[in-house]
């Protein structure tokens, strides 16, 4: 272990690993400190959807951030395969937002119009057209919004590939190393204090997911964040039941490699507990079987839960502390941390490098903003 690093990254989830990978490509000396193991929290729980138009929907700084990140996946997948041999299972397989009621039909059709006006591809498919494309789907749906450019990856594989690529380029990742507090001197961050002692660096980035707020309080940074527990399960079928991801009001079903399907996800704000509940899984099963009746025959694989980092105004925090020099924060990616990981890694590496990010909408994510509560 070195005596001093250019950058300490706190958290080896997808956000911390993406930042470390981007910094390592610029020749920085980086150590990632992780209190558990690499990809041990939300980043392994994710279904891996890249839902730039499915999840974010309307024009906003976050929508633009999502689109920019989505566009980075083809190159990133190739780069990671070359560096690590890991296939992140990137697929641009499209997402169908299905409508179960006339109200949903009207809402989705107006969303298509709005996205088309922004130059985005999205179109309506009728029940008959949907049956031809996805014959395993119920005929009870009233059609769907098809978003051909949204896709998916394996979230655990992507996180591990980013970590491994960063290590190949010289980053140290210290698992089971918890950061307790920051070392400050004359208004500047000088390093961190951990269970293995003091570690010094020129810059510190907090990428601690839903646990970031607690750590930052110690440095008088008051983020407005809260955890949102989500449960998921997976099953296997002998042949692939669906080609595109199916996204309904009550659940989503994501087709994965090898006939796996991930079905998610519940939303329980305020909970840090990672237990899987009968209630959560049975609600998902019921909703999924309504949309895809053939699921009844699928083989059970496993169930899990994870904690999403959400903010009061539903925007991530990406930036530098306005007073405490050299302290950076990247958290609050909520349901879209996998989608947003490539762009977040690049933006944070630019900020640390002192490179102007150059997008006017980037000013939407400062860490000292006063939030407007949306939930
Ligand atoms: C059920 C579910 C489904 C999801 N599906 C999708 C999806 O389909 N698409 C998508 O884009 N997003 C999805 N998400 C959201 C996505 O998983 C998150 O936004 C993303 O993983 C957040 O990444 P992170 O690195 O900020 O947090 P995490 O992955 O939670 O990593 C933070 C890390 O920081 C470590 N840490 C915290 N404090 C300290 C400390 N003091 N010292 C050392 N280490 C520390 C933690 O141990 C942890 O490993 C889903 C989330 C859930 C729960």
Closest CA to 347 of 302, 306, 305, 317: 317
Q: Is 331 in the pocket of ligand 1 (CB under 6 A)?
A: yes
Q: Is the CB of residue 12 below 6 angstroms from any atom belonging to ligand 1?
A: yes
Q: What is the mean pLDDT of residues 339-345?
A: 98
Q: How far apart are CA 85 and CA 113, in angstroms?
A: 41
Distance (Å, whole) CA 8 – CA 116? 42
Q: What is the pLDDT of residue 280?
A: 97
The pLDDT of residue 375: 38
Give the mean pLDDT of 154-162: 98
**Residue 269: helix, strand or coil by DSSP?**
strand
357 pLDDT tier (thresholds 50, 70, 90):
confident
pLDDT single digits (tens) 127-140: 999 999 999 999 99
Residue 343 reports pLDDT greater than 80: yes
Q: Is 70 in the pocket of ligand 1 (CB under 6 A)?
A: no
Mean pLDDT of the chain: 95
Look at ligand 1, atom 19, and give the residue with the nearest C-alpha. 337
User: Which pLDDT does position 329 carry in this prediction?
Assistant: 96
**pLDDT of 219:** 82
User: What is the pLDDT, as a whole number, of residue 98?
Assistant: 97
Q: What is the CATH class of 91-150+226-311?
A: alpha beta
Residue 338 CA to ligand 1 center (angstroms) comes to 9
Assign 323 a pLDDT band (cuts: 50, 70, 90).
confident
pLDDT at site 269: 97
What percent of the chain has a predicted confidence (pLDDT) above 90? 89
3-class state of residue 266 by DSSP: coil
pLDDT band for position 371 (cuts 50, 70, 90)? low
| CA 61 vs CA 52, 65, 184: distances in Å | 12, 6, 33
Domains 4-82+155-223+312-364 and 91-150+226-311 share a fold: no
56 lines ligand 1 (CB under 6 A): no
Q: State both tokens at 150.
A: 């949204």
Q: Which residues pair with 96 in a beta bridge?
A: 146, 246
The percent of residues in the chain predicted with pLDDT above 70, rounded, is 99
Confidence of residue 368 (pLDDT cuts 50, 70, 90): confident
What does the pLDDT read at residue 187? Answer: 87
Gap from CA of 64 to ligand 1 centroid (Å):
21
At 44-66, the pLDDT tens digits run 999 999 999 999 888 999 999 99
Which CATH number is associated with domain 4-82+155-223+312-364?
3.50.50.60
- Asked if the model's pLDDT at residue 322 lies above 90, the reply is no
Q: What is the mean pLDDT of residues 215-220?
A: 86
How high is the pLDDT of residue 220? 81
Residue-wise pLDDT tens digits, 265-281: 999 999 999 999 999 99
Q: Compute the average pLDDT of residues 58-82.
A: 96
Domain ranges of the chain: 4-82+155-223+312-364, 91-150+226-311
Q: Is the CB of 16 under 6 A from ligand 1?
A: yes
Predicted pLDDT of residue 374: 44
pLDDT tier at 362 (50, 70, 90 boundaries)? confident
Q: Is the confidence at residue 373, as pLDDT, over 80?
A: no
DSSP per-residue letters across 275-338: ---HHHHHHHHHHHHHH-GGGGGSEEEEEEEEEEEEETTS--EEEE-SSSBTEEEEE--GGGHH
Any atom of ligand 1 within 6 Å of the Cβ of 48: yes
Q: According to the 3-state scheme, what is the secondary structure of 185-217?
A: ECCEEEEEEECCEEEEEEEEEECCHHHHHHHHH
Q: Is the peptide bond before 304 cis (omega within 30 degrees of 0)?
A: no
- The yes-or-no verdict on residue 189 having pLDDT over 70 is yes
Give mean pLDDT, residues 196-206: 97
- Locate the ligand 1 atom nearest the alpha carbon of residue 48 and give its number: 8
Span 355-365, mean pLDDT?
A: 81
Compute the average pLDDT of residues 158-185: 97
Average pLDDT of 295-307? 96
């Amino acid at each position: 272990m070195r005596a001093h690093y250019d950058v300490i990254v706190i958290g080896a989830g997808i956000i911390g690993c993406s930042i470390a990978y981007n910094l390592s490509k610029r020749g920085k000396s980086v150590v990632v400190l992780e209190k558990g193991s690499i990809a041990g929290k939300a980043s392994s729980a994710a279904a891996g959807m890249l839902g730039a138009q499915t999840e974010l929907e309307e024009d906003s700084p976050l929508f633009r951030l999502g689109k920019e990140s989505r566009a980075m996946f083809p190159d990133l997948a190739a780069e990671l395969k070359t560096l690590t041999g890991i296939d992140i299972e990137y697929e641009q397989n499209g997402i169908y937002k299905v409508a179960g009621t006339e109200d949903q039909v009207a809402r989705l059709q107006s969303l298509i119009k709005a996205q088309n006006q922004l130059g985005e591809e999205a179109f309506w498919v009728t029940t008959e057209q949907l049956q031809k494309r996805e014959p395993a789907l119920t005929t009870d749906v009233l059609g769907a919004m098809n978003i051909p450019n949204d896709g998916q990856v394996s979230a655990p594989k992507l996180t591990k590939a980013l970590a491994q690529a960063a290590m190949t380029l010289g980053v140290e990742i210290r698992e089971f190393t918890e950061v307790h507090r920051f070392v400050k001197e004359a208004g500047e961050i000088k390093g961190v204090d951990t269970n293995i002692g003091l570690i010094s660096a020129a810059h510190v980035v907090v990428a601690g997911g839903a646990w970031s707020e607690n750590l930052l309080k110690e440095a008088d940074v008051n983020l407005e964040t809260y955890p949102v527990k989500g449960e998921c399960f997976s099953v296997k079928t002998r042949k692939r039941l669906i080609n595109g991801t199916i996204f309904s009001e009550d659940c989503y079903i994501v087709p994965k490699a090898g006939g796996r399907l991930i079905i998610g996800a519940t939303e329980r704000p305020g909970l840090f507990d990672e237990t899987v509940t009968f209630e959560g899984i049975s609600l998902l099963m019921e909703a999924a079987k309504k949309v895809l009746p053939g699921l009844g025959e699928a083989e059970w694989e496993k169930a899990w839960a994870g904690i999403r980092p959400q903010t009061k105004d539903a925007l991530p925090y990406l930036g530098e502390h306005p007073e405490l020099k050299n302290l950076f924060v990247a958290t609050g990616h909520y349901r879209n941390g996998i989608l947003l990981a490539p762009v977040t890694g690049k933006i944070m590496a630019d900020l640390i490098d002192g490179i102007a990010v150059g997008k006017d909408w980037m000013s939407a994510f400062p860490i000292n903003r006063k939030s407007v509560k949306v939930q």
